[in-house]
């Protein structure tokens, strides 16, 4: 470790992103990106005239983007904050709503970035195990005296929590913030956004990375009561006022305004997910019920790590987590039919040869 590292930096738990290989063309089913290109409106909006304005700072208030998001969800701009991916928004939320005397709770099997954020801000974290079947019991959180983060649908399992459960949690203690990370909600989860008007302590985060074809554009946002959004802005303006760059502001606004393309893409992914689930089950896999753009599956005949390695050798990337409870599973992004057929063909071959 570097001698210059501060004591605080020594305690960090950096997130390990999925592979983004440059050496060869893989069938890439490892990081839950969309297999489809951005909306044509995005391409049109990113004009030469806009490129020529890159000498100027971006709008720190993200006025147009926030207005487009607010309009889409029937909210006011004061209920919206945008960020450089929802990871940044989550960081703002961890800084704003957790700290000394205010710990954070999240599941044992969930988005590992929560652990990275907790370490970054030196938070006391309570890790609460999911049930045996990877469902989340909100009753396990009822008495927790701090901020709660729930990915819904969860990653890497794809399993969703009913909205009524989250509602019980919000009502159990109105003084406690519940952050619902809805990165995957557009693929079939029940969104908590309609409850924002009823609960001052509800913060919902979403992203354009998974369902709006903009993972590389890095656009995420949070929706919540004006007072929660104000709190997040306090952190944002202490960290990076120009957090969303000019091109991403334009791309995000155009993507948010193309409702038709968004719906088409989400529907196709859900159809492809049903197909993939059936194929995998036919091959003897156990597949968790997914409300996301990926499936979490276990092959009875090959350990997860072995399956991951063999697929990679065949040019297919999936995600494997070398972690207790989920070592036997791989997470497979629901790609295009062409990608998925390549995967199931390869799996069929592989399992025949065992």
Ligand X SMILES: *Cc1c(COP(=O)(O)O)cnc(C)c1O
Q: Interface with ligand X by CB under 6 A: which range of 35-43, 81-89, 119-127, 244-252?
A: 81-89
Nearer to ligand X, 79 or 86 (CB): 86
Q: Does 186 bind ligand X (CB under 6 A)?
A: no
Q: C-beta of 105: minimal distance to ligand X in Å?
A: 16
Among 38, 146, 158, 220, binds ligand X (CB under 6 A): 220
Per-residue interface string for the shown chain with ligand X, residues 110-149, x marking contact by CB under 6 A:
-x--------------------------------------
**Alpha-carbon span 231 to 228, nearest angstrom:** 5
Contact of 181 with 86, CB cutoff 8 Å: yes
Among 69, 75, 87, 330, binds ligand X (CB under 6 A): 87
Question: What b/e sequence results for 18-49 when a residue is b if at least 16 CB atoms lie within 10 Å of its CB, and e otherwise?
Answer: beeeeeeebbbbbbbbbbeebbebbeebbeee
Q: C-beta of 75: minimal distance to ligand X in Å?
A: 19
**Alpha-carbon span 92 to 205, nearest angstrom:** 11
Q: How far from the centroid of its chain's Cα atoms is residue 221's Cα?
A: 11
**Alpha-carbon span 84 to 245, nearest angstrom:** 8
Q: C-beta of 39: minimal distance to ligand X in Å?
A: 17
Q: Does 188 bind ligand X (CB under 6 A)?
A: no
Among 29, 91, 149, 155, binds ligand X (CB under 6 A): 155
Nearer to ligand X, 158 or 304 (CB): 158
- Return the structure tokens found at 146: 């701090």
Q: Restricting to residues 27-46, name those near ligand X by CB under 6 A.
A: none
Among 66, 207, 213, 253, binds ligand X (CB under 6 A): 207
Nearer to ligand X, 217 or 304 (CB): 217
Local structure of 178: helix, strand or coil: strand
**Alpha-carbon span 108 to 110, nearest angstrom:** 6
**Alpha-carbon span 216 to 249, nearest angstrom:** 13
Length of the chain: 354
CB atoms within 10 A of CB 122: 12
- Return the structure tokens found at 316: 């297919």
Among 29, 46, 80, 85, binds ligand X (CB under 6 A): 85
Q: How far from the centroid of its chain's Cα atoms is residue 12's Cα?
A: 21
Q: C-beta of 87: minimal distance to ligand X in Å?
A: 3
329-333 and 80-84 beta bridge pairing: unpaired
Judged by CB under 6 A, how many residues of this single chain contact ligand X? 12
Nearer to ligand X, 86 or 339 (CB): 86
Q: Does 82 bind ligand X (CB under 6 A)?
A: no
Q: Does 181 bind ligand X (CB under 6 A)?
A: yes
| Degrees to nearest 5, angle at CA 19 with 18 and 22 | 155
Nearer to ligand X, 89 or 347 (CB): 89
Q: Interface with ligand X by CB under 6 A: which range of 12-20, 83-91, 313-321, 326-334?
A: 83-91
**Alpha-carbon span 251 to 249, nearest angstrom:** 6
CA-to-CA dists, residue 279 to 30, 64, 131, 348, angstroms: 18, 43, 27, 10
Q: Does 151 bind ligand X (CB under 6 A)?
A: yes
Residues of this chain that bind ligand X (CB under 6 A): 85-87, 111, 151, 155, 181, 183, 207, 209, 215, 220
């Amino acid at each position: 470790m570097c001698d210059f590292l501060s004591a605080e930096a020594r305690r960090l738990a950096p997130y390990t992103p999925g592979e983004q290989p440059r050496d060869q063309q893989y069938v890439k089913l490892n990081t839950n990106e969309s297999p489809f290109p951005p909306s044509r409106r995005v391409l049109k909006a990113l004009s030469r005239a806009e490129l020529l304005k890159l000498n100027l700072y971006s709008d720190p208030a993200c006025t147009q983007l926030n207005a487009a998001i607010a309009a889409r969800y029937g909210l006011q701009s004061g209920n919206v904050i945008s960020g450089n991916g929802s990871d940044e928004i989550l960081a703002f939320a961890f800084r704003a709503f957790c700290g000394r005397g205010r710990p954070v709770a999240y599941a044992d099997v969930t988005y590992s970035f929560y652990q990275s954020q907790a370490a970054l801000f030196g938070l006391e974290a309570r890790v609460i195990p999911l049930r045996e079947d990877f469902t989340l019991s909100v009753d396990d959180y009822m008495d927790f005296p701090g901020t709660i983060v729930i990915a819904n649908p969860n990653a890497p399992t794809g399993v969703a929590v009913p909205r009524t459960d989250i509602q019980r949690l919000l009502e159990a203690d109105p003084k406690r913030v519940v952050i619902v990370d809805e990165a995957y909600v557009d693929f079939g989860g029940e969104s908590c956004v309609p409850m924002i008007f009823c609960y001052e302590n509800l913060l919902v985060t979403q992203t354009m990375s998974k369902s709006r074809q903009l993972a590389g554009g890095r656009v995420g946002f949070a929706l919540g009561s004006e007072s929660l959004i104000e709190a997040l802005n306090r952190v944002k303006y202490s960290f990076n006022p120009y957090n969303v760059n000019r091109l991403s502001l334009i791309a995000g606004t155009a993507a948010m305004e193309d409702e038709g393309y968004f719906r088409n893409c989400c529907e196709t992914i859900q159809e492809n997910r049903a197909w993939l689930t059936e194929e995998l089950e036919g091959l003897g896999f156990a597949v968790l019920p997914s409300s996301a753009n990926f499936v979490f599956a276990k092959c009875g005949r090959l350990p997860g790590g072995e399956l991951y390695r063999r697929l990679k050798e065949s040019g297919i990337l999936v995600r494997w987590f070398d972690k207790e409870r989920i070592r036997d599973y791989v997470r497979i992004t629901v790609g295009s039919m062409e990608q998925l057929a390549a995967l199931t063909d390869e799996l069929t071959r592989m399992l025949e040869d065992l």
